[in-house]
Structure 1
Amino acid sequence: MSPTILFAVVLAYFLILLGVAWRTSRHATNDSFFIGNKDSNWMLVAFGMVGTTLTGVTFISVPGAVGSNGFGYIQLMIGYVLGYLAITFILLPLYYRLQLTSIYRYLELRLGRRSYQSGAAFFIVSRLLGATARLYLVVNILQATILDSFGVPFWLTACVVLLLILLYTYEGGVKTIVWTDTLQTACMLAGLFICSVFLLREMDLSLVDSLERMRAQGLTRIFTTDPDSPAYVWKHILAGMFITIAMTGMDQEMMQKNISVRTLRDSQKNMLSLTVVLTGVLLLFLFLGGLLHLYAPLAGVTATGDKLFPAVVLGHFPAVVQLIFFIALISALFPSVDGALTALTSTFCIDILGLQRRTDLSPAVQMRWRRKVHLGFAALFLILIMAFKWLDDPSMIGVILKLASYTYGPLLGLFAFGLLSKRGVRDRWVPLVAVAGPLLCALIEQEQARLFDHYRIGLELLILNGALVLGGLFLISTPPGPAGRGAQYLSK
């Protein structure tokens, strides 16, 4: 397909998003930006969060990984379901009872000011790295398939994409992205379904026949029973559960949308609906991956990993399906990036700058600060995208999960200590403990061959990180009482 036509379609899609943003951001305030005025429709939030959870990396990397891992991703999915249930019935009631705008405010109420700022800081690092890694993947595909032919440099492509995202999140924040994420999720799922149907028709296969062929080629294998393997089944189930608890339940971006719903019951319905829909969609992604690996040898496609899906579509699909693929790809990208940019702005303004506490600043001054922070994070996104371009890792989903293991571990340890213990902490030492956990994990991972012989650490690195921080917090803990900062109140 002509790059000019693809460019026109992408531009039209952006204009639609800008139109939605204009409609939803009129008369927006800081409350609209941070929590959508606590008036978001739970069904829209649930549907839009599917796109936020999946992201462009899932769209490209999960199908591409079927060739090497089969359907082993299902092991993680089992853990995801358990994690979502924990969020629904443990974390959401806590956040609503405390009427939080930032979920890291819980850490201040429970442990102290330094604990609160440590949690917020690790979220900022986590989301900056994770969101820019996802954004890099899709910008790179847009560059290779459309903009290289126009002679546009990569850095300019990244600037323009960030500018467009900035434009439609600048005023409305959560109030806007609840609606734009819903639109984008619908486009992404439509593209996923249409590409799967097209591949079945091209190979003249029924659903049952395709699964049988995948089984014959070893693509449907799920469980790994070797305890020494990084993909061992129980490692993945436990890692999937704690990844979900940390990356969703202790993540301001994800919870910002949940707590924008008016009532706890509706927020819980949102989370349970998300669990069901997300499970079905991830199974469809794995099925699509199996179809791509059946089709690639027939079409003479040699690409693997993240490059397989784009290579098959652009080299062998008709023009109309290519258009659908690009719209779906862009739709998979934006729900994670726009939400991350908004959540990072919210966390920095509320938790680091303390804008909501500043009675000496008028609402207009607070809004100016919020806009400056929003622009600042957009600039940081650009810098990190260029860094990922320099690294150019072949499978970004592995990079993202590894980054999450290091950066979400301290959050997991902090929240676990607050929820599982009534002891207080020596708050001034908490930042050191939070930093020590990832550093110890890096040392252990580097020396794992000497320490564990044949055993290899996989995604359970997140659990290890959280456990080290939890243990460190107990070492600096104090008996329940005044130092416990609200332990009795929070346990009610």
Structure 2
Amino acid sequence: MTPLIVFSVITGYFGLLMLISYLTSRKSDNDTFFTGNRQSPWYLVAYGMVGASLSGVTFISVPGEVSNLGWTYLQFVLGNIVGYVVIAFVLIPLFYRLNLISIYEYLKDRFGLKSYRTGASFFLISQTIGASFRLFLAAIVLQIAFFNSFGIPFWVTVLVTISLIWLYTFRGGIKTIVWTDTIQTTFLLLAVTISIFVILSQLDLSINDTFKLVSSSPKSNLFEWNWLSDRNFFKTFTAGVFITIAMNGLDQNVMQKNLTCKSIKDAQKNILWFSVTFLLSTILFLILGVLLYQYATANNIAIPERTDDLYPLLALNYFGLLAGIVFLLGIIAAAFSSADSALTALTTSFCIDILSPKKTKTVKKRTRLYVHIGFTLLMFLVIIIFNAFNDTSVVSAVFKVAGFTYGPILGLYAFGLITKKKVKDKLVPLVCIIAPILSIILNYNSEKWFNGFKFGFEILLVNAFLTMLGLFIISKKTILPLHIIHKK
């Protein structure tokens, strides 16, 4: 694929996003930016959330990792479905009753200002690192596919990429993103579908042949029953439930889209239909993974040492021009659908939760603009720091550590919803710092301390439990009346 074609694809793609931004941001105000005026069609939100949830990491990593993990990732996704049901029938009604802009406002009513800012701060840290990591991967692909041909340094690639994201989100915010996400989800799923079609065509496989090939492949192994494995079904499924609740239901990035729906019922339909679509999309990625390895073997193509490199290698060099173009659009869409909504969510949370926690309606439009620019620059700096490591394993480790910050958020909400106890608000930040530190130590030493037992995703539950234990220790004897806990 020539640099001219890549440039044309990128230019055309961003031209489309800018057009959508223009159409959705006319007469926009803070309410438009933060809540989309609560007028988003639920089916549009549900479809668009697929692209944002899959992300660039999933787009590349899930197909490549079937050689190491088989289909065991699907155990986790099955747990996700249960988590989405909890979100639909527990969290969505709560957030709508409270008429929240930022979901962390609940913590202010339940525990106090310190708890509120602590929950929001953990989200800001997690989302900044996570979104930067996902955009970092996309920038690497763009650097290889286009910018290297002109000797353009990586920092310029990142600056151009993140500036373009800022341009189409700074006015319309979440209202624009609801619509751009639908376009980006379409490109993402189109890339996978066309890649599968190309493989079937070149290997002369029928649908029936494909079904037999995938079902009989050792790379399609779904269940892992070994208790010591970090991929054990029960551990992975349970973790899938609670990680979904923590990293989707208690994440401003995801919930801000849900809160743009017109009513509780619309938001619930959005979540439930999205979960089904997400499951089917994941299965499509796993099928693609098996076929990628079959294609490489049939054509005597050397398997890259890093499994993440397999799909880009084949799509850009072996699948033909159309598949290469759609793959490029897919990886851009997958990364940007995560980064643009994250940038908006970070701006929303900082404006509402940090700058104006007592008067949520007083945020000025100019202040919001400055915060939006600030987080754009912060993400740029984080990506440059990632690149300075020049070691993807180090960057991946930083990304995983950021995931530990969701444990305290889950613990705070679980304690608030399950118990009626008040806490010493000023001590909550200390509890929420100690819990993830202890969790990281446990995770690092688990095999040595627990006779070979290895934590997987379920370390989040340990983190949340330690947070709840700490909150119980600092709780007061006074018990809140029920009407305050579940304020209507």
TM over 0.5: yes
Matched, 1:426 2:402: no
1:313 to 291, 315, 340: 315
Partner of 1:450: 448
CA shift for structure 1 position 446: 2.7
Aligned counterparts of 1:266 and 1:200: Cα–Cα separation in 2 = 39
Identity %: 42
Paired residues of 2:352 and 2:360 also in contact (CA < 8 A): no
Q: Which moved more, 1:390-399 or 1:16-25?
A: 390-399
Whether the aligned pair in 1 keeps the contact of 2:236 and 2:457 (CA below 8 Å) is yes
Unmatched 5+ stretches in structure 2: none
| CA-CA distance at 1:117 after TM superposition | 0.5
Give 2:387's match in structure 1, choosing from 378, 386, 389: 389
In the TM superposition, what is the alpha-carbon distance from 1:39 to its structure 2 partner? Answer: 1.1
Asked if 2 retains the 8 angstrom alpha-carbon contact of 1:110 and 1:487, the reply is no
Change (3 A) 1:430 1:343: same
Alpha-carbon distance between aligned partners in 1 of 2:392 and 2:435, rounded to the nearest angstrom: 28
Contact 1:349 1:370 in 2 (8 A): yes
- TM-score (structure 1 length as normaliser): 0.95
Q: Distance in 1 between matches of 2:367 and 2:62?
A: 39
Q: Match of 1:424, SS? A: strand
RMSD over aligned Cα, in angstroms?
A: 1.9
TM-score, length-normalised on structure 2? 0.96
Once the 2 structures are TM-superposed, how far is the Cα of residue 171 of structure 1 from its aligned partner? 0.7
Tell me the CA shift for residue 235 of structure 1: 0.8
**Of residues 403, 414, 417 in structure 2, which corresponds to 1:416?**
414
**Separation in structure 2 between the aligned mates of residue 190 and residue 376 of structure 1, nearest angstrom:** 34
Give 1:327's aligned residue.
Answer: 329
* Deviations 1:440-464, CA, capped at 9 Å, x for gaps: 1122223223311211111111111
Aligned to 1:92: 92
Residue 478 of structure 1 aligns to a residue in which SS? strand
Which residue is 2:400 aligned to? 402
String of CA shifts for 1:35-62, please: whole Å, max 9, x gaps. 0111111111111111111111111011
From 474, 481, 490, give the equivalent of 2:486: 490
Contact 1:424 1:485 in 2 (8 A): no
Confirm or deny: 8 A CA contact 2:169 2:177 kept in the other structure: yes
The residue that corresponds to 1:146 in the other structure is 146
For residues 18 and 261 of structure 1, the distance between their equivalents in structure 2, rounded to whole angstroms, comes to 23
Amino acid at match of 1:301: A
Cα 1:489–1:441 change in 2 (3 A) is closer
Contact 2:189–2:330, Cα closer than 8 Å, also in 1: yes
Distance 1:139 1:396, change over 3 A: farther
Change (3 A) 1:128 1:294: same
Deviation track 1:137-194 (CA, whole Å, cap 9, x = no partner) reads 1110111121111111111000000000000001110111111111111111111111
Is residue 422–residue 488 contact of structure 1 (8 Å, CA) maintained in 2? no
User: Given that residues 480 and 487 in structure 1 are in contact (C-alpha distance below 8 angstroms), is that contact kept between their aligned partners in structure 2?
Assistant: no
Matches within 5 A, 1:112-191: 112-191=112-191
Structure 1 residues 142 and 69: alpha-carbon distance in aligned structure 2, compared to 1, 3 A threshold: same
2:421 counterpart letter in structure 1: R
Contact 1:9 1:323 in 2 (8 A): yes
CA distance in structure 2 between the partners assigned to 1:309 and 1:401 by the alignment: 22
Q: Could you tell me how far apart the structure 1 residues matched to 2:330 and 2:117 are?
A: 37
Paired residue for 1:224?
Answer: 224
C-alpha separation in 1, matches of 2:485 and 2:125: 30
Q: Any unmatched runs of 5+ in structure 1?
A: none
Conservation of the 8 A alpha-carbon contact between 1:61 and 1:395: no
- Give a deviation string over 1:196-247, Cα, whole Å, max 9, x none: 1111111111233234334544111011111111111111001111111011
* Cα distance change on mapping 1:138 and 1:358 into 2, 3 Å: closer
Q: What amino acid maps onto 1:466 in structure 2?
A: A
The change in CA–CA distance for 1:397 and 1:35 in structure 2 (over 3 A counts) is farther
Separation in 2, partners of 1:288, 1:9: 24
1:56 aligned onto 2:59: no
- Rate the CA distance shift 1:473–1:408 in 2: closer, same or farther, 3 A: same
1:88 is aligned with what amino acid?
A
Other-structure match for 2:246: 246
Provide the residue aligned with 1:101 in structure 2.
Answer: 101
Residue 315 of structure 1: how far off its partner (Å): 1.7
AA matched with 1:378: T
Residues in 1 aligned to 2:273 and 2:132: alpha-carbon distance in whole angstroms: 28
Q: Matches of residues 26-65 of structure 1 in structure 2 within 5 Å? A: 26-65=26-65
Paired residues for 1:239-278 under 5 Å:
239-278=239-278
SS in structure 2 opposite 1:479?
A: strand
Indicate if the aligned counterparts of 1:410 and 1:434 stay in contact, CA closer than 8 A.
yes
Amino acid at match of 2:45: V
- Secondary structure of 1:357's aligned partner: coil
CA contact (8 A) 2:253 2:345 kept: yes
**CA distance in structure 2 between the partners assigned to 1:257 and 1:282 by the alignment:** 21
1:50 touches 1:274 (CA, 8 Å); kept in 2?
A: yes
- The residue number in structure 1 matching 2:437 is 439
Does the 8 A contact of 2:317 with 2:324 survive in 1?
A: no
Paired amino acid for 2:353: D
Distance 1:395 1:321, change over 3 A: farther
- TM-superposed CA distance for 1:4, in Å, is 1.4
CA contact under 8 A between 1:402 and 1:459: conserved in structure 2?
no
Q: 402-411 or 245-254, which moves further after superposition?
A: 402-411
Aligned to 1:350: 352
Amino acid at match of 1:70: G
Given that 1:405 and 1:465 are in contact with CA atoms closer than 8 Å, whether structure 2 keeps it comes out as: no
Contact 1:438 1:465 in 2 (8 A): yes
Q: 1:355/1:457 Cα in 2 relative to 1: closer, same or farther (>3 Å)? A: closer
Provide the C-alpha distance between the structure 2 equivalents of 1:254 and 1:141, rounded to a whole number of angstroms. 25
Contact 2:52 2:181 in 1 (8 A): yes
Residues 355 and 98 (structure 1), Cα distance of their counterparts in 2 relative to 1, 3 Å cut? closer
Q: Secondary structure of the equivalent of 1:294?
A: helix
Shift in CA distance, 59/383, structure 1 to aligned 2, threshold 3 Å: same
Give the count of matched residue pairs.
486
Q: Which residue of 2 aligns with 1:464?
A: 462
Give the whole-Å Cα distance in 2 for the aligned partners of 1:452 and 1:241.
24
CA distance in 2, matches of 1:357, 1:491: 18
Deviation digits for residues 326-353 of structure 1 (CA, Å, limit 9, x no counterpart): 1111111111100000000000000000
The match for 2:303 is 302
